[in-house]
Amino acid sequence: MTAVLMDGKALAAEITERLRAQVDRMKSDGVVPTLATVLVGDDPASRVYVSRKHRAAEAIGIGLRNYTLPENTAEGELTSLIESLNADGTVNGILLQLPLPSHLEQRRATEKIEPNKDVDGLTVTNAGRLVYGESDLIPCTPRGVMELLHHYSITVESAQVVIVNRSMLVGKPLHHLLLNEDATVTVCHSKSSDLSSLTRDADILITAVGRRPEFVVTADMVKEGAVVVDVAMNRVEGKLVGDVDFEGVSKKASYITPVPGGVGPMTVAMLMQNTLVATTKQKRALVSPVAQQ
């Protein structure tokens, strides 16, 4: 068996075309979707990620506001900026690039973002809506994983799904998204015992550890014919790789994502989609009966 490659780059390009057409329609109605990005410090990886998001926004026609703050920015300064962006009616989405410098509390900073402008879907309000299956601003990577599964017509209902990650960015939101589609979901983490026996039971295995070479998913950890989604990105000997031993696992899986070119491009595409969702939500709020009183 040779696995079908789940091409996130190609799917992201299709989504980009659809979003570009949606932006054109919005602009014809006098609405310019605008994303504000906030980067604190000079972390090289964060700079690269923000740059990719800027390029994606420009390709679609989304307006950009870029704020780069020094490493020693005080919490009050960051809070003041976020609150000013919340109040700015011309800004539709706010992206606070994580991680923040160690002296800043990420949770506290994220919670300052107005939920309807929270394009990362990380505020408590949007996380709670997700638990109830009512959120439309969903964390970008989990949303990208679900888009890939749907695009390749992979059956989620009644599937045994194992997620190796319990973070608020990936594992926990994915758990709820999959549960809402009637999968049976097991979430694994660093304290899970006999991890290999759990992963071998998975019809769909999703891994996002990012500690290679310490952690590698090998073929003996994967069920024959499983769908394998590799969210992690590691740089090993100058090469980008995920958690999965691609060469070995691709001979056993039915579907597999590459690294790079799998989930990564989908994450950026979903950020753009969330920006348009946020714009639409705000536009509706402006014309609601409550807003008109």
Set 22, 97, 273, 282: catalytic member: 97
How far apart are the C-alpha atoms of 210 and 71, rounded to whole Å?
25
- Contact (CB, 8 A) for 6 and 256: yes
pLDDT in tens, 92-148: 999 999 999 999 999 999 999 999 999 999 999 999 999 999 999 999 999 999 999
Question: Which entry of 22, 53, 118, 273 is annotated as an active-site residue?
Answer: 53
Q: What is the pLDDT of residue 293?
A: 37
Which of the listed CATH numbers 3.40.50.720, 2.40.160.40, 3.30.465.10, 3.30.420.40 matches domain 140-263?
Answer: 3.40.50.720
Instruction: Identify the burial level of 190 via C-beta atoms within 10 angstroms of its C-beta, where 0-12 means exposed, 13-18 middle and 19 or more buried.
Output: exposed
pLDDT of residue 288: 47
Q: Kindly give the interhelix angle for 171-179 and 140-151, rounded to the nearest 10 degrees.
A: 40
CA distance 134 to 113: 19
Active site residue 53: yes
Q: Is the pLDDT of residue 291 over 50?
A: no
* Whether pLDDT at 230 is above 90: yes
pTM assigned to the model: 0.94
Residue ranges of domains in the chain = 31-114, 140-263
Beta strand 239-241 with 234-236: parallel, antiparallel or unpaired?
antiparallel
Collapsing DSSP to helix, strand or coil, 39 comes out as strand
Nearest one of 173, 146, 145, 154 to 263, comparing CA atoms: 145
Q: Mean per-residue pLDDT for 28-38? A: 97
Tokens of 271: 């950020």
Asked whether the domain spanning 140-263 has the same topology as the one spanning 31-114, the reply is: yes
What was the pLDDT predicted at 287?
54
Rounded CA-CA distance 229/207 in Å is 6
Q: At what angle do helices 140-151 and 263-286 cross, to 10 degrees?
A: 110
Q: How far apart are CA 13 and CA 261, in angstroms?
A: 11
CATH of the domain spanning 31-114: 3.40.50.10860
- Tokens 């310490």 locate to 214
Continuous H helices in 114-254? 124-131, 140-151, 171-179, 195-199, 246-249
Catalytic residue, candidates 22, 112, 118, 120: 120
**The two three-digit tokens of residue 238, written as one number:** 């100058």
pLDDT of residue 90: 96
CA distance 3 to 55: 31
Active site residue 97: yes
- pLDDT (0 to 100) of residue 236: 87
Residue pointed to by tokens 């952690």: 215
Question: Which pLDDT belongs to residue 292?
Answer: 39
What are 248's two structure tokens? 């070995």
Q: Which residues make Cβ contacts (< 8 Å) with residue 284, sequence separation at least 6?
A: none
Predicted confidence (pLDDT) at residue 271 exceeds the cutoff of 80: yes
CB 182 within 8 A of CB 151: no
The reported pLDDT for the residue numbered 284 is 81
Token pair listed for 167: 């973070």
Instruction: Flag whether pLDDT at 290 surpasses 50.
Output: no
